Structures are given as C-alpha cells and as structure tokens.
Amino acid sequence: MAPNKEWMQLVQDRLDNAYIIAVEKFLDYAFTKLGETQEIRCPCIRCCNESSKTHEMVRSHLLVYGIIQSYTFWYHHEGRLGQPESDFEFVEDNNIENDDDEDEMHELLRDLHPDFIEENMNTNSDDFVEEEPNPEAKRFYGLLNDYEQPLYAGSKERKLSTLIKLLHIKSISQWSNASFTMLLKMLKADLLPDGSNLPDSYYKAKKVIRNLGLSYQNIDACKNSCMLYWKDDKILELIKVCGASRWKENQCNGETQSKRGKKIPCKILHYFPLKPRLQRLFMSSKTSSLMRWHHDERVADGIMRHPVDSVAWKRLDELHPSFGIEPRNVLLGLASDGFQPFKNSKTPYRIWPMVLIPYNLPPRLCMKQENFILAMLIPGLESPGDAIDVYLQPLIDELKELWETEVETFDASAK
C-alpha cells in the first residue's frame, strides 16, 4: 500500500526517521504506478515537478529540500483525473502514459480552465465551499470546443495546437500577414483532406486563439510624452499640453501620413491589461496554491529570503490589516529598462518594457522570467524619465480598481 500523505507535514523535520521511510515508500509507489524505470518528476520544493530525475536524485532532493506541502493530489505520480485516492493500492497499469507525452496544448487549456483542474485538489482552509466556475472562467468553453476539434477527420492533431505552432513560426520568422494567409490557403487546398478545420486566413487564425486572453490595447501617445489619448482625451487631434499633432507628418510637405486610409500616430503605447493575467494565476492548477506561499509555507525564522521577510512588507500589513489577512491578495514589484528590439543596433529605435513581479510566489519562482507579467511597452529613443507617470496611468487606474473594488476570480486549488 502507498504511503499515507500525512508524512508530507513532517517536511520541517526531514531528518526524522518517519519522513525518510515515507520518502522511500513514496518513490517505490511512484515508480511502480507510472511504470517507469529511469526518471519521474521531482516534487521537491526546488524542482516543483518541472523536471524529471532519477530515483536517487529525487530521494536526495526530497531529503534536502523537502516535498511541496500543497501537492496533496499526486497528479504527476499516481495517474489521471477521476482515479480514486482513498486506498492508493499498488496496481500495475501499463496503460498509464507519462505526463511528458501529454499534448502540451491540453495541459495549457487545463490550466486556463477550471474544468481541467484536478478533481481532488484540497485547500488548507475549511472555510471554503466548492463552487462552479464564475462567468469569467466559463468563457473558455468556446476555446475548449475549438481544441477538441481534430484538424481533419481521423487526425491526431488538434485545430488549436496546430494554429499556435504555425503562428509561433510566423512570429519568429517575421512572416507578413499576407504570406501567412497564402500558406494557410495552400495547406487547406492542396495538402489537407477536404473538410479540414484549418482557417484559411491570418485574421481567422488569430480570432480562434483570441480567447486565450493575451490581448493588449493600443493607446496613442504624444511624441513628447506629454499625454495619452485615453479616456476623455481619446478623440483629440492635438496635444493639450504642448500643442503637437497626434499624427505623423511627412517631413517634405507636412502632410499627415496614412496607411490603408488610416492616419499613423506619432507614438503608440502597448498596454497589457493586468486583471486577466492575475486571474489566470489563480485559475491555473499549477500556480493557484503557490500564490499563497508567502502565507501558508514560509518559514518565519528571521532570515531574509523573500520580500515577505522584509520590514516594508510587515509595515504594509500593519497599515492595512484587512489586506494582509487575505493570503490571496497580490503584492507586485515594478521594474523597467530599455533595449534595442532589432538585430541591427544602428536602427534608431528603442522600447521600454514595464514588468510586474508577483511577490506572492516562492523565491524560486517569483523571479523567473516565465512568471513576470508584462504590463506595457513604451516606445521611444530615450527613457521616458520623469514623464513615465504619463504612461503609467492605465496601470495605476487598474491597480486602484483592484484595491478599491476588488475583482472576482476562481481559485483552482480551493474551488
């Protein structure tokens, strides 16, 4: 019989003989259950099930770093959804596939939509009642339906995963929209069977994945960084502060430049809404419990390992006790720097990204690039300097809304 999961609470005393014996039983159970002879995913605090290691390496990591205490449903080590969890008897099942072989898009969609989270995930609190996903979460149903469609009858490839792979190639190869449309038409007409679900244009392909929620807003800005054409100023033609034109002009004749009948703004701020990205952190089965790490799993031993150990964090909790008492409230760091986005450094162009760092995550994760939240891209040859507050207006406005009115989301770990 597999080890009882109560041993996971002994992680603070990893030299205890009971913990060591339980680790050995867990490893025997996991390797037997998955039918593996070489490697399994390492559930230690350092690896966080992100990499596969040998029996000895996993054992060493569990003894040195400890197991993730919130990993109460062993999804990577005991099978798929719906499998009973009460007895965990050793059953030889050669039909269980390694999680590494699972379709990557299916894993992504499971994280985006609560329907795909593990049914038996537990929470550390008894105050929460399982609920249905809210409307914001249910909007992913359309995306799931698209995913379930095969590329064509009898195909193992799915429509959405194929589109994302093609769009990724388009992006890194810098194809034009027109050339991508030509490729789709050729694939659909000449290479794929009749009745295939592949879109025949770039516009239709982009529309299919729009529900992923990774869209952004274009906000016109003054070329002198005086103001944004935003909210009440959205319809203005001239800058209220410096009087400059909103549109690019030809240097030779002073006429307004246009492209396809549309005027070209002098400068455009690309703003990435924050709320859906924070919601995704809680809707994802992999990160929802980690967003409470600073409250549930931090070791308060006086050593500075994370911003939660700082005087500033503690002072914030004192000033706003109602904010600090809810571990799901998010604390963010803000960082910015400029860089040249093109290979040719002689191109007179720079861009200034504004990045948010979610400090709720444990120290091994909060500073990883994949967990950074891109807030905006500010174009310009020079740093915005003191004028950066002009560009920060949409972000500040959204942060104030989050602070004052709150935004409902779905917690995948607590349901």
Write out pLDDT tens, residues 226-241: 899 998 888 888 878 8
- What confidence score (pLDDT) does residue 55 get? 87
415 CB neighbour count, 10 Å cutoff: 18
Regarding predicted confidence, which is higher, 2 or 185? Answer: 185
- What confidence score (pLDDT) does residue 356 get? 95
Report for 176-185, 204-213, 254-263, 330-339: range of highest mean pLDDT: 176-185
- What confidence score (pLDDT) does residue 407 get? 80
- What confidence score (pLDDT) does residue 27 get? 87
- What confidence score (pLDDT) does residue 211 get? 67
d(CA 47, CA 133): 30
- What confidence score (pLDDT) does residue 146 get? 65
Q: How confident is the model at residue 352 (pLDDT cuts 50, 70, 90)?
A: confident
**Does pLDDT of 1 surpass 70?**
no
- What confidence score (pLDDT) does residue 119 get? 36
- What confidence score (pLDDT) does residue 121 get? 37
- What confidence score (pLDDT) does residue 373 get? 92
CB 174 within 8 A of CB 167: no
d(CA 61, CA 53): 10
Regarding predicted confidence, which is higher, 412 or 134? Answer: 412
SS (H, E, C) the chain: CCCCHHHHHHHHHCCCHHHHHHHHHHHHHHHHHHCCCCEEECCECCCCCCCEEEHHHHHHHHHHCCECCCCCCCHHHHCCCCCCCCCCCCCCCCCCCCHHHCCHHHHHHHHHCHHHCCCCCCCCCCCCCCCCCCHHHHCCHHHHHHHHCECCCCCCCEHHHHHHHHHHHHHHHCCCHHHHHHHHHHHHHHHCCCCCCCCCCHHHHHHHCHHHCCCCEEEEECCCCCCECCHHHCCCCECCCCCCECECECCCCCCECEECCEECECEEEEECCCHHHHHHHHHCCCCCCHHHHHHHCCCCCCCCCCHHHCHHHHHHHHHCHHHHCCCCCCCEEEEECCECCCCCCCCCCCEEEEEEEECCCCHHHHCCHHHCEEEEEEECCCCCHHHHHHHCHHHHHHHHHHHHCCCCCCCCCCC
- What confidence score (pLDDT) does residue 348 get? 66
**Does pLDDT of 28 surpass 60?**
yes
Regarding predicted confidence, which is higher, 105 or 125? Answer: 105
Question: CA dist 172 to 167, 176, 182, 217, 271, Å?
Answer: 9, 11, 17, 22, 22
Q: Which of 58-72, 138-152, 386-400 has the lowest mean pLDDT?
A: 138-152
**Does pLDDT of 333 surpass 50?**
yes
Q: pLDDT tens across 81-118, in order?
A: 334 333 333 333 333 334 444 444 555 555 544 344 33
Q: Identity (one letter) of the amino acid at 134?
A: N
d(CA 306, CA 170): 39
- What confidence score (pLDDT) does residue 394 get? 95
- What confidence score (pLDDT) does residue 96 get? 35
- What confidence score (pLDDT) does residue 214 get? 66
Q: Taking residues 160-169, report their average pLDDT.
A: 85
Kindly give, in sequence order, each residue whose CB lies less than 8 Å from that of residue 137, ignoring residues fewer than 6 positions away. Answer: 113, 114, 283, 409, 410
Q: Which of 7-16, 307-316, 361-370 has the lowest mean pLDDT?
A: 7-16
Percent of the chain with pLDDT over 70: 75
Percent of the chain with pLDDT over 90: 17
**Does pLDDT of 161 surpass 90?**
no
Would the pTM of this model clear 0.75, i.e. be above it?
A: no
CB 177 within 8 A of CB 153: no
Instruction: Give the mean pLDDT of the chain.
Output: 78
d(CA 294, CA 359): 8
Q: Which of 58-62, 131-135, 315-319, 333-337 has the lowest mean pLDDT?
A: 131-135
- What confidence score (pLDDT) does residue 334 get? 93
